[in-house]
Chains A and B, each alone.
Chain A
Amino acid sequence: MPQIGSFVLLLALALSGYSFLFGAVALFRRDSLSAVITETARRAGIASFVAVLIASAILVTAAFQNNFSIAYIYHHSNIDLPIPYKFATLWSGQEGSLLFWSLLLSGYGFVLRLRHKTDERLFAHASVIIAAVQVFFLLLLTFAARPFATTPGELPLDGAGLNPLLQYPEMVIHPPMLYLGYVGFTVPFAFALGALIMKYPGDKWIHITRRWTMVTWGLLSCGIALGAHWAYYVLGWGGYWGWDPVEVASLLPWLTGTAFLHSVMMQEKRGMLKTWNVWLIFVTFGLCIFGTFLTRSGVVNSVHAFAQSSIGTWFVIFLAIIAATCIFFYVYNRSHLRTEHHLESLVSRESSFLFNNVLFLLICFVALWGTLFPVLSEWIQGHKITVGPPFFNSVTVPFALLLLLLTAVGPLLAWRKTSLGSLKRNFLWPTVGAIAVGILLIATPPSWGSVFGMRPWTDVAYFYSLIAAMLAALVIFTVAAEFLRGGRVISGHTGRGLVSSMMLLGHRNTRRYGGYVVHIGMALIFIGVLGTPLNRTAEKEMGFGDKIDIGPYSLVSRSFTQDETPNYSSSIAILDVYRGGKLITTLYPESRFFTATQQPQHVPSVYSPLREDLYVVFEGQNQDTGRPIIKAHLNPLVSWLWIGVLVMLFGTVLALFPNAPVPVRAVAAAPVTAGFHAPTAPVGAD
């Protein structure tokens, strides 16, 4: 089996190599043979997908068959591992995850090559670039990180097992989502570079790229959110984001990709920022590769399993090739990217996009800077330092708040220039509402909930929380006002109800209103995060009937029990939760000990009303007394974070839907007396 797997990977490498080399040759030949060669290169690319798919299937089958002659299966699986996690073995370690990356890339290439009729020449360029990236990963899999390497010596009876932290249902979908997002940025990169190489006329490539980027961005967002959710519900430290290099690596392309999704509108609408957009896509793809290098080279410390390896040099060389290629074609064809218009006012949609882009890139820079500073410090000062959450939180929060302000203000500014009247009309009531929210949070008694009765003057973190709440409210109110305004106009024209009119409004311009829904999702995410400074914890050794008080809750230990499965043994605490003397739920925090890996793991139990999370962890047992140690966290507003993610993903899906047809009103081409007036398009129309 390992031999077949290795052979199929070698075949995939040969096919990708053919697709790249011959595809590239065909693009530069302008004779009758070039079409034939291009077609063979396209088919070779499709065949390489089939080969990588077979190789992946072989590895998964080996996991199901407990074939420990393959070293990768021995290190990441064992006989008693539950079936879904055997499937997840594919992406649980270095070699398998690189194979999975290659599979997804060839899958994207497969779809792209099937859709080549959309624009044969542009797709041929993109296909060659994807093949080149695929060649790199297949070289890596063939020579440096071999998933089918055999186990040396005697065949082991059982495997070393999968890391307990990865044995969680979300782990079966989090990495695929993240990788789909990560790898997916190769497609917009391929289109952008291809369009630059061939000096593609017009904006069509932008339309194609934008759709791919949105899908990729949505998947990456989903992957990051699932990772945060997994960290919260599995790692048991009460948080969801720790600024670990692997987390940062996933955030970097998300930030630049988000910047691109905004700035690309300026290219579509006004023919501006062409160079900026091309470079944003180049940088986003570069960051995907750089992030992979960062987390697998051992350059920085990470809690993630595959952080230490020797494949870093491969990535450095690949990054250098990418940078050289991008710079060469940019310098060679930069005249093609000349802007058609310039900015006219600071108070305009265009400048808000520019400021938005700068802030996204700044946050990206801060995240990268903080992650790499320990390396720089060691190089300059001779000793390593730690750059942890306190640094990232204190530097990125003000930047993120500025971004949230732009999220509220930007979409309602007019293109070119915004008048004072328009500003007043769009923002007066939302601003009043946001200020009212701020006053409410300060003036209300703390007994209403953890976030009420805020004292922003006592701690800068509380001040940021209050500003975040007000800005999130501003975003929600401005978007709601926009929906209401448009809905009323449609309702007036069609006689429909207001809600139905607002739904029609969204359907008529899915991209615009889908974007607004994404903004609401972001505002909700900020609401979910702003409670962090108000988190509380309490820890106690608990015997039967003992009690922990935290916030408005009392936890009373009813019983303790134990369980045994082939995979792990566990201790479980049974805790009754009271609020105001009334029993509201029972929580079951658990401490597991995995047999194969001989590693312990906490499984927190969480009660999640919208107001706050009561998050309880079975920390272990006191060695002297044998009594269980229970740690309770009270985390305000966390549920809003997950709701915000769902809303954001819904908005992304909405933005991908085609627009509803708009009834066309006849426009008389009558002579106009002074200047021209653009006829009013039906509300919500493109």
Chain B
Amino acid sequence: MSRLNRFRIVGSLLLGVLLLMGASDNSSRIDRLGHQMMCMCSCSQILMECNHVGCTYSDTMRNELNAGVDAGKSDSEVLAMFVEKYGTTVLAAPTHSGFDRVAWLLPYIALIVGLGGVAFVVRAWHKRRVPATVAATSGLSTADLSRLREQARKETDL
């Protein structure tokens, strides 16, 4: 086999692999994008999960999604195409721009404030703590000891 033929075969194989990878990428892209959108038949289900018998939207929308991806549109272009046709409610989650960003940010701000707040309170209380004085036990009555035992048991169990 000539060197040229060998190059041709290897080249064809590589091209085939790339095409297959492309196909696989397209199907995973379609699946990923389809999970970022809602079916508009008011079933409140993700587009790729809508399973209503006779749903008049999901098949059309999936075909549009396939066509958009096959036409070489980017993810944002495909999503923009759907928003233009079906409105903002077609997106399954808020976008990361404008006021929608607040939806994403606030939970994490709350997390930082909440956990930070607990850490701050614990430290503040720790600093304010009055050092416990060691009582001379010789003066404790049996009743006192029983009470202290009960207290210790109560505080150390669970």
Contact = CB atoms under 8 A, between A and B. Distances in A.
Given A669-B145, A678-B149, A342 B53 contact: no
A345 B94 contact: no
Interface in B103-157: 103-104, 106-108, 110-111, 114-115, 117-119, 121-123, 125-126, 128-129, 134-135, 137-138, 140, 142, 145-146, 148-149, 152-157
Interface in A347-364: 351, 354-355, 358-359, 361-362
Residue from the set A244, A600, A675, A678 with the largest chain B CB neighbour count within 10 Å: A678
Interface residues of B, number: 60
Range class of the A interface residue count? 35 or more
A377 interface: yes
A391 B49 contact: no
B46 interface: yes
A620 B91 contact: no
B144 to A, nearest CB: 9
A681 interface: yes
A383 interface: yes
A394 B49 CA distance: 18
Nearest to B139: A671
A345 B145 contact: no
A384 interface: yes
B78 to A, nearest CB: 16
Given A369-B103, A386-B38, 19 more contacts: A237-B51, A239-B49, A268-B154, A302-B44, A342-B125, A344-B129, A365-B107, A369-B107, A370-B103, A383-B87, A386-B89, A386-B93, A390-B93, A391-B93, A395-B107, A415-B156, A511-B158, A619-B51, A685-B157
Interface string A656-686: 0000000000010101111110110100011
B114 A361 contact: yes
A598 B108 CA distance: 46
Contact of B156 (A370, A384, A414, A674): A414
Interface of B: 35-36, 38, 42-46, 49-51, 53-54, 87-94, 98-100, 103-104, 106-108, 110-111, 114-115, 117-119, 121-123, 125-126, 128-129, 134-135, 137-138, 140, 142, 145-146, 148-149, 152-158
Contact of A678 (B46, B140, B156): B156
A415 B107 contact: no
A388 B46 contact: yes
A484 B138 CA distance: 39
A58 interface: no
Interface of A: 236-239, 242, 244, 265, 268-270, 301-303, 342-346, 351, 354-355, 358-359, 361-362, 365-366, 369-370, 373, 377, 380-381, 383-391, 394-395, 399, 414-416, 509, 511-512, 515, 591, 600-602, 617, 619-620, 631, 667, 669, 671-676, 678-679, 681, 685-686
A269 B51 contact: no
Contacts of B88: 383-386
A342 B129 contact: yes
